[in-house]
Structures are given as structure tokens and as C-alpha cells.
Amino acid sequence: MTRTQSRILWGATATIGLLLIGASIYLGLEKADKLSSILSGFFGLISSAIGIYQIVAGAPSNRPPAQSQTSGNNSVNIQSGQDLHIGNGNKFGNP
């Protein structure tokens, strides 16, 4: 998240918080409580719908591919179908 995005997020959060405090003072706590119950139910339904849509749509993940290989000037790529012996008796695979 960039610095500008962070500032926008914090600014929007603070503005909404102040609006909610102002609404509770203007409407009184009883009416503000009823209004907040309605709004929270509305946002809950929207959030659930978005979550279900993302599951159904099957959005691609941001994970890298399962097998990726990068090479440089000094790299050695070793592929072995059997046990792999490296150096002083080090052994990878079944002993």
C-alpha cells in the first residue's frame, strides 16, 4: 500500500467515525442504535455476497508458480532421478 493510499484510507475511516458520532448526537442514542443495526446488517449482506462471488469466480491467486527456476552466470542446475550425493558424503534421498 502506498503512502497516498494509506492516507486516503485513514482519512476516510476518520471521516466515517466522525459522521457516526455526529449522527448519534443528532439522532440520540436510541435511534442511532437502530440505524447502526440496519446499516451493519446491510454491510454484512454486501460483504457476504462479495465473498461468495469471489469463491464462485475463482479469482487467480497471487502465488508464484509451483516450479520456477532462475539462472545466473554462476548457477548450476542439478536434476537427479535417484539419490543425490554432494561433497563429503552428504546424501539426499533414501539412505
Q: Spell out the domain ranges in the chain.
A: 3-57
Could you read off the pLDDT of 17-66 as tens digits, one per residue? 898 888 888 888 888 888 889 989 999 999 999 989 888 887 566 665 55
- Could you tell me which residues come within 8 angstroms of residue 85 by beta carbon, excluding any fewer than 6 positions away? 91
- Helix or strand holding residue 86 (H, E): strand 84-86
Q: State how far the Cα of 95 lies from the Cα of 82, in Å rounded to an integer.
A: 11
The pLDDT value recorded for residue 77 is 58
The pLDDT value recorded for residue 10 is 94
| pTM, rounded to two decimals | 0.44
Q: State how far the Cα of 71 lies from the Cα of 74, in Å rounded to an integer.
A: 8
